[in-house]
Amino acid sequence: MFILPADSKDFRFPPVELASPEGLLAIGGDLRSERLLEAYRHGIFPWYNKGQPILWWSPDPRAVLLPPKLKISRSLRKILRRGEYIVRLDTQFLSVMHACAQPRAQNLEGGTWITPEMIEAYFHLHEQGYAHSVETWFDGTLVGGLYGVALGGVFFGESMFSHRSNASKVAFVHLVRQLEEWGYTHIDCQLPSVHLSSLGAEEIRRQDFLRILDEALALPDRLGAWQFDSKLALIK
């Protein structure tokens, strides 16, 4: 197990090939923006429960969604066509993170791992233009959404929430369509789940993920607050 010193200006990580079979690579360090961005650029992300030290992961295999392979079920397509939801980008980043941090019945997508220090760290990334939120609204109320980090041509999804049926899926579909229009190559879903698989996510080997990650990082960063393209036909 590799131990990262806190408050060090050396933000390098050990090679991901040295991770445990479960994908655990290192422990410790901090959540400064420089360290987080260095982690993402090398296929590493933090994931730990409240009360634990920071744990850094690079699982093998990796869950990834390629925008052209997005799956929209017949029932979801009907919901999208009804237009009952409004979807926005980067208008309520902290609200989305706090909603994602709420405990869930089966704790499938996080909950307690989104600690106050995690919220503060990702809000700093948001202020710097790297972290973004997608928000689903119904009758003026935020009912679903997701957040993640964008570097080059890849979006690293972190967590999503839904307070109304399919609200998080609606946010995800709109995001994927917009990312495809902007030329993003893939969405990193980190760990496989039934929810993400239903939307088209697939598992690939870590070495393949690192290869496409390197290619995506050669593209320019799209920094700053995001907005949907008004001319984009999001739902086809």
Reported as a single tens digit per residue, the pLDDT across 116-126 is 999 999 999 99
Q: Please tell me the predicted confidence (pLDDT) of residue 158.
A: 97
Q: Please tell me the predicted confidence (pLDDT) of residue 1.
A: 73
Reported confidence tier of residue 9, pLDDT bands at 50, 70, 90? confident
Which domains, ranges and CATH numbers included, belong to the chain? 2-57 (3.30.70.3550), 62-217 (3.40.630.70)
- Structure-model confidence comparison of residues 27 and 107, the more confident one: 27
Bridge partners, 27 (sequence order)? 3, 55
| Mean per-residue pLDDT, 125-141 | 97
Q: Please tell me the predicted confidence (pLDDT) of residue 236.
A: 43
| Mean per-residue pLDDT, 162-173 | 95
Reported confidence tier of residue 104, pLDDT bands at 50, 70, 90? low
pTM: predicted TM-score of the whole model, two decimal places:
0.93
Structure tokens at 58: 């690079």
Q: Please tell me the predicted confidence (pLDDT) of residue 232.
A: 55
Q: Please tell me the predicted confidence (pLDDT) of residue 32.
A: 97
Spatial distance between the Cα atoms of 143 and 233, rounded to a whole number of angstroms: 23
Would you say residue 137 has pLDDT above 70?
yes
- Structure-model confidence comparison of residues 151 and 230, the more confident one: 151
Q: What is the DSSP string of 27-82?
A: EE----HHHHHHHHHTT-EE---TTSPPEEE--SSEEEE-GGG----HHHHHHHHH
In our burial notation (b when 16+ CB lie closer than 10 A, e otherwise), range 4-30 reads: beeeeeebebeebeebeeebbbbeebb
**In this prediction, what percent of the chain has a pLDDT beyond 70?**
93
Spatial distance between the Cα atoms of 112 and 109, rounded to a whole number of angstroms: 10
Would you say residue 231 has pLDDT above 90?
no
Would you say residue 90 has pLDDT above 90?
yes
- Structure-model confidence comparison of residues 209 and 233, the more confident one: 209
Reported confidence tier of residue 111, pLDDT bands at 50, 70, 90? very low
Bridge partners, 204 (sequence order)? 62
Reported confidence tier of residue 112, pLDDT bands at 50, 70, 90? low
| CA 176 to chain CA mean position, Å | 12
Reported confidence tier of residue 105, pLDDT bands at 50, 70, 90? low
Q: Is the peptide bond before 5 cis (omega within 30 degrees of 0)?
A: no
First to last CA, the chain: 48
